[in-house]
Structure 1
Amino acid sequence: MKLHPIAPFEPIRTEIIPTSSDWITQIKWDGVRMLTYFDGHEVRLMNRKQNDRTNQYPELLAIQTYCSATSCIIDGEIIAFDQKKPAFHEVMKRESLRNKKSIDLALSRTPITYMIFDIVMYNDIWLLDRPLLDRQKILEEVIIPNSNVQITQNFADGNKLFEVMKEHGMEGVISKDLRGKYLIGGKDTRWQKKKIFHDLYAVIGGVTLRNGIVNALLLGLFDQGNLHYIGHAGTGKLSNNDWRNLTQLIQSKIISERPFANEPARSNEAIWLKPEHTVKVQFLEWTSNGTMRHPSIQSLVDVQITDCTFQQ
């Protein structure tokens, strides 16, 4: 049976973790959402935006070593570690690779783990109308954990798990209704995420320089076609080499008019850019004037600027 890519089910944000016995809570991994498609012959990996990532993760292509299903669609998150903690900037090292030699080298330099948390189709049978409890039972039967593949663990006490995640500086938790069905392209209260830090994809609309090298990004989000400034960030996970490469990258993107609808705080120092490049940024909270408090750049990313909205 030919398997076509689907849009995965997504959680909504919450500040209150469900405590009913019908709910479980899982760790929210700081990685890349990935669905595995196996039609009985070929394995394909597709990310949240249905972009093919099959070549980037060759260690997941021998599906018979970790899954006994004759066909399936598996849902999970690919993570990579930095100092024993999942780190988005580490897994992005794998996402950005296209050259086979570089990918082969990355197998040992940046090992990944596929944290599986759902199964959407099994042995040519769609499981969309089956409750999460049943889907998890099927996962336990068909998934064979190994060094690159694990099943995400359930926790009954979501609030306790959240406190543990705070202690370890993790991203947050996701609570799921065990009675809930899987809705392709859906996003509702059946899955609820509570984050320790907020994160989003933002557009680079300007930069500032120090000694001729970019040292901070002026970031924005789109709303009704207008780019709104949400703050500047100069700290995070970018290396010195990343900043130098970014300095070269922006040379052809410099424009004379500011791209933001509102006035940024650093307008006098800013070099304006055509809004084409994007980053993932993490921050503590929104301030009263609509900017990010304590933003931290996690990685340069390849996402559509139209996805960089306040509704993401």
Structure 2
Amino acid sequence: MDLPVALPLEPMLAKAIPDIPETGPKGGALSYEPKWDGFRGIAYFDGTDVEIGSRGSKTLTRYFPELVETLRAQLPRPCVLDGEIIVRTGARGAEHLDWESLSQRIHPAESRIRKLAEETPAAFVAFDLLAVRDRSLLDEPFETRRRELEILLADVAAPLHLTQTTRDAAVARTWLTEFEGAGLDGVVAKGLADTYQPGKRTMLKIKHERTADTVVLAYRVHKSGAGVGSLLLGLYDDSGELRGVGGVAAFSDARRLELIDQLEPLVQRDADGNAVTGEGERNRFSSNKDTSFVKLRPELVVEVRYDQMEGARFRHTAQFLRWRPDRDPRSCTFAQLERPISYDLDRVIG
């Protein structure tokens, strides 16, 4: 494709901070926008052809044929857009983002892709403009890029959207609370004077953080073959059934080995004294990954930090905080989880 930026282009990233800032790290003015929970995508349009690149510079084009058609039909001139691919679900007035339906779109079969494109069509939310016609905008300040983006997308319609922004930190704090009910996972802050820096964590992201006491159900061996790679976690539902809700990982080399010894007394064993193991569901993004685990007696409680739920599971890997020997595992229920107030996605996306 003949465009004024190198392809593929790494997207600019964000670093996490705990609260909505009033100004940037160097005191500069900020623009705030919703943090969409989907697939990051950079859309390239040369006036004829469309390509969509992922955060890891892999192509997403074949998985979203409906977006290719939309971008080709609606974009008024050659350009490079930075944005997010999402799937919307729910009845009118109660729409929200649907991560599970979005993740199912990554499928090897062309027939399946076409079927899902009709059943669960995706949308593209643009939040930055990296090039237009024969001009690269990478060295332009965000304030300029945003203004050009608003001009470019002035007449587009769903499923192509322009994300909303505000320069009011108080409004951004409201978004952080309200928009979670529509499935969004935070707020992003960008310096108005900042240029676009591919691959660098220049933006700021503020995500929801909560804690929960969970029961340790099992562990997976680290990919190196030595020590514990992750702990599998569970919570009791209203019927008293212990249900898996996700995992916690990111242990140091020394801690992984310590955990093997610490968890040994809790390992479930069969009549012959062998450790009881299980097999988890394979992720379509890493189908060759070992998903086996060693089952434990549900007697150990750990407090973790998490950002949000996707159905009855943690949306992302949780973070280890501390052991809770004072907690009865049976007291670790779904009732302790904070549920966001429902909020209509249509009010966010417009």
**TM > 0.5:** yes
Q: 1:1-312 counterparts in 2 under 5 A? A: 1=2, 4-20=7-23, 22-62=29-69, 63-70=71-78, 72-83=79-90, 84-94=95-105, 96-143=106-153, 144-155=155-166, 156=168, 157-166=171-180, 170-188=184-202, 191-197=203-209, 218=219, 228-233=228-233, 261=257, 262-263=259-260, 265=263, 268-269=267-268, 271=277, 276-277=289-290, 281-282=315-316, 286-288=320-322
Conservation of the 8 A alpha-carbon contact between 2:66 and 2:121: no
Letter aligned with residue 127 of structure 1: L
Match of 1:306 in 2: none
Return closer, same or farther for 1:37/1:265 CA change in 2, 3 Å cut-off: farther
Over the aligned positions, Cα root-mean-square deviation in angstroms equals: 3.6
Aligned residue pair count: 250
Instruction: Determine the C-alpha separation between the residues in 2 that align with 1:65 and 1:141.
Output: 17
Q: TM-score, normalised by structure 1?
A: 0.68
Q: Which runs of 4+ in 1 moved over 6 A?
A: 224-227, 272-275, 293-296
Conservation of the 8 A alpha-carbon contact between 1:34 and 1:48: yes
1:52-84: per-residue Cα shift (whole Å, max 9, x none)?
1111111122334221123x2111011113432
Letter aligned with residue 110 of structure 2: K
| SS of 2:117 mapped into structure 1 | helix
Q: TM-score, normalised by structure 2?
A: 0.61
Return closer, same or farther for 1:46/1:166 CA change in 2, 3 Å cut-off: closer
1:189-217: per-residue Cα shift (whole Å, max 9, x none)?
xx11111148xxxxxxxxx9xxxxxxx77
Extract unaligned runs of 5+ from structure 1: 199-207, 209-215, 236-259, 297-312
Return closer, same or farther for 1:168/1:6 CA change in 2, 3 Å cut-off: closer
Conservation of the 8 A alpha-carbon contact between 2:97 and 2:183: no
Extract unaligned runs of 5+ from structure 2: 211-215, 236-255, 269-275, 281-287, 292-312, 325-331, 338-350
- What's the offset of the Cα at 1:113? 1.2
Bigger shift: 102-111 or 178-187? Answer: 102-111
Larger strand proportion of the pair: 1
Instruction: Determine the C-alpha separation between the residues in 2 that align with 1:294 and 1:178.
Output: 44
Instruction: Determine the C-alpha separation between the residues in 2 that align with 1:79 and 1:130.
Output: 27
Return closer, same or farther for 1:165/1:217 CA change in 2, 3 Å cut-off: farther
| SS of 2:101 mapped into structure 1 | helix
Aligned residues with identical type, % of pairs: 21
